[in-house]
Structure 1
Amino acid sequence: MVPVVYQDGHALLQRVVCGRFSNNAYVLVCRATGEGLLVDAPEEPEKVLQALQGVRVRAILLTHRHPDHWAGLASIKTALHAPVGIGEADADGLPVPPDFVIADGQVFPFGRLALRAMATPGHTPGSTCFLWGRYLLSGDTLFPGGPGHTRTPQDFRQIVESIRRHLLVLPEETVVLPGHGEGTTIGKAREEYALFASRPHPPDLCGDVLWAG
């Protein structure tokens, strides 16, 4: 049974948990038209394809270039015949070129609904989050308790800037749905970040950082 994050008479949002890293793929469907979008394509593609039965997928959108988020892409793309997009700075991280690159602010319609892309570099140069209504699909940019992993202090400063400028300004009731594990809300993330920002930190801070740590 694929967990349903949200559904009403107009839309369906499902979270498909896949693979050894518990990746989350997200399926969004316009009930009126049967059109949908897929965000991320991890291993165990059969789980994703089962959730997409009967859906006409307009596009496969990747949050970033790390292989655990596209390990099932070849099988899924072959089955769906849908174009694949990723942030331009991450395009060279795929085994084959994407069909298109995702621009900041780009809108992706599916039926009578639409999803908006938000460029949030830091975890990777081309990391992208996606906003649909009050749901933020945050990839590996924002998790409960902290940002995604960063490899250098420069990357850490960049991911914090992305989160602060683009994500924490969203309404506090916005539900954050990350690329792994359970979600949080923007309101909770704001509170956690405020505590982090109130304390001094070493200039070389990076890696797996918790706001409370």
Structure 2
Amino acid sequence: MSTGYTVVVPHERWPSNAAMQASLDARGYPVALVGGAPDAPFAVGSRGLELRLDGRSLTLVGASAAKVGAAAFARDETNDVLAGMGAAFRARDGDWHFGVGLGSEPREWRAAFLVMAALVQDFGGYGYETQTESHGDNAWAAALIEDAEQFRLQAAATPAAVPQPDLRLADPGGWTQEKTAGVVCVALGGAGLWVSLSTGNLLISAIGVMMVAMGVAVFFIRRKIA
């Protein structure tokens, strides 16, 4: 289950990629946007919002950014949601909506909170979240920053996954079923060759050779461990 956040930004103040990065840098938020021309509007790609947090790659797959034009605005429920929360703010035709759905990964929460805080603090955004009905501008952004620090501490306290050795090609050693099958194949193949020498039957001879070869291959196979 994910929690959804939205920040509405006036269309005339929606930043370029360069302006967004400058905001993050000026505030000391360790988020670096990835991709996109500097002068192009800040945007979310088809894979999500790709960035680096503390120098490590991260993609907010649940992120989106869209300018809500006249046709979409007529059907948009943002203002109904805000009114239901008691917010005085209202979105306008043409405003940009940045949204993100967050799950259980602390690094994703931290990165998303820092991005949303910058949109509010430097570009006149108004944010809200429907589950707790939290909403606001600068005070709301300040709460995001406090929570982002808690997510940083939580991520730091989570032990990194320890790589496990790949044992699929390991040889268990000793006598195995494969070796038994190999011995049987060699024995049957040898018997076939002996019969072919006695009878002159080339078909039996060919089958005997194949059985011996198969037995040798099976005997020396490296057994896979599930």
User: Please, what TM-score do these two structures have when normalized by structure 1?
Assistant: 0.26
Structure having the larger proportion of residues in helix: 2
Instruction: Answer 1 or 2: higher relative contact order, Cα 8 Å, separation at least 6.
Output: 2
Structure having the larger proportion of residues in strand: 1
User: Please, what TM-score do these two structures have when normalized by structure 2?
Assistant: 0.25
